[in-house]
Chains A and B, each alone.
Chain A
Amino acid sequence: MMEGLHTTRRSRVLVADDTESVRSLFERLLSTDGHEVVSATDGRAALDAIQRERPDVILLDVEMPGMDGLEVCRRLKADPATRLTPVVMVTGQTDLSDRIRGIEAGADEFLSKPVHPQELRVRVRSLSRVKHLIDALDSAEAAFVTLALTIEARDPSTNGHCERLARHAVRLGRALGLGSEDLDALHRGGYLHDVGKIGVPDAILLKPGPLTPEEFALMKRHPEIGDSLCAPLQSLRRVRPIVLCHHERLDGSGYPSALRGDDVPLLAQIVGIVDVFDALTSERPYRVALSDEEAGTYLLRQAQAGKFSRRHVEAFLDTIGNAEICLAS
């Protein structure tokens, strides 16, 4: 994979312009540079072609019949499947307002008509490299998630834990008013929080009963193992505090660093709450699953004991519709 980061791959480029001569110019220049070119004559056709062909770089004329290039760009940048695909808006040389609207729509680059062949080639070449790097990082992250799910699969009693955790954590984050970057980190953190368990032997991970102090000491190493696994990936920098600190507690009773209060990162606090809730409401070889109400009551007691923020626990119970029942009990 690392070799792929440094070599030039043939790219697929989408050209959307309603003027045939402009499309032909771009097609000719880009195909002689080794790219595969897909053309569209209007905004809707561009969206269809993007969904079908998954281009590496997209060139959009601002003015197109029906849906214009700005709207196409907005839609691409709002869709998780295409938001990282570089978009070049092609504008008139003097159309400053188009450029400003293009920036607002999320365009990555601009080209002015008439497009200079060399400039077009260099821009597309450089954006292709960026896209290939993003793809490589995506593959690395996908490999990590696969690893996390493989670890989950080692223990049949945790089936679906990561997926539920990701969903609950995002829901709680949203309830607490967090922004999209934090929500994204919570989603990925939900999957990756226990990735360090790859370093915990099956005999401990799958033990159907309480762990000995020695075994627990080994188990407590998984956040640090997970953190060092994630460290080389820059794209996981916001996820690492979750992986490292999701077993920390506000009263300093957690691990691995016995952090206290605000030193426990907020995103790790969130995952910590939903992790405990999911563990309690899932069946284990040595106990039956608690009901949502029982687990909620337990979390509130833990908050009262200073381990979790009461506000966060209540917000979480609110998101699963159990706040009133648990507070009453």
Chain B
Amino acid sequence: MANVPLHVDHTAMNWTPERMLSRLDGDTELATQLAAIFIDEYPRMLERLRGAVAAGSADDVRRAAHALKGSVSNFIDGGPTATAFELENMGRNGQLDGTPAVLDRLEQEIVALTVCLQDFQAKGTGSTGES
């Protein structure tokens, strides 16, 4: 993941700690815990999705994208959640043309999100990612 270029503007994803906390009942401790789990689990989930895209297996793409969407949607509405949903639908419809490009975008969005989440973890209450 380290060599994935960061072309995504954090603010474009519309992520803020406040929005994330509103999804989690304002529970900062829970948000921190979920962020740690996500940072740990997303590389495996992305790896599974990459494998499915490379193998051209529509059903595996749908399943892997669905799982990733469920995980990332704890933190954000649009951005990576919407992109994972886009990949899930491509898998559901068996239309895999263009999935590598969408996957690249998803990876960049997830990396951007993890930067936000790490920042949040470090500061306790987090930042907007605008600094």
Contacts and interface: CB of A to CB of B under 8 A. Distances in A.
A172 to B, nearest CB: 47
B41 A20 contact: yes
A92 B66 contact: yes
A206 interface: no
A20 B74 contact: no
Nearest to A120: B25
Interface stretch (B1-9, B29-37, B101-109, B123-131): B29-37
Dominant secondary structure of chain B at its interface with chain A? helix
Contacts of A117: 23-25, 27
Given A19-B71, A116-B23, A118-B25, A25 B34 contact: yes
A152 to B, nearest CB: 54
B65 to A, nearest CB: 10
A61 interface: yes
B24 to A, nearest CB: 6
B37 A24 contact: yes
Interface string B23-51: 11101001001100110110001000000
A141 interface: no
Contacts of A118: 25
B121 interface: no
A153 B95 CA distance: 69
Interface string A127-147: 000000000000000000000
Interface string A79-116: 00000000000001010000000000000000001101
A297 B60 CA distance: 65
B69 interface: yes
B23 A114 contact: yes
A21 B74 contact: yes
B66 A63 contact: yes
| Most chain B CB atoms below 10 A, which of A25, A63, A94 | A25
B63 A19 contact: no
B37 A20 contact: yes
Contacts of A92: 66, 69-70, 85, 88
B114 to A, nearest CB: 13
Contacts of B118: none
Contacts of B71: 19, 21-22
Contact of B34 (A17, A18, A24, A63): A24
Given A28-B30, A63-B63, A21 B41 contact: yes
Interface of A: 17-22, 24-25, 28-29, 61, 63, 65, 92, 94, 113-114, 116-118
10 contacts: A19-B41, A19-B67, A20-B40, A21-B38, A21-B71, A21-B74, A22-B71, A22-B74, A117-B24, A117-B27
Interface of B: 23-25, 27, 30, 33-34, 37-38, 40-41, 45, 63, 66-67, 69-71, 73-74, 85, 88
Given A29-B30, A63-B63, 12 more contacts: A17-B70, A19-B41, A19-B67, A20-B37, A22-B70, A24-B37, A25-B34, A28-B30, A92-B85, A117-B24, A117-B25, A118-B25
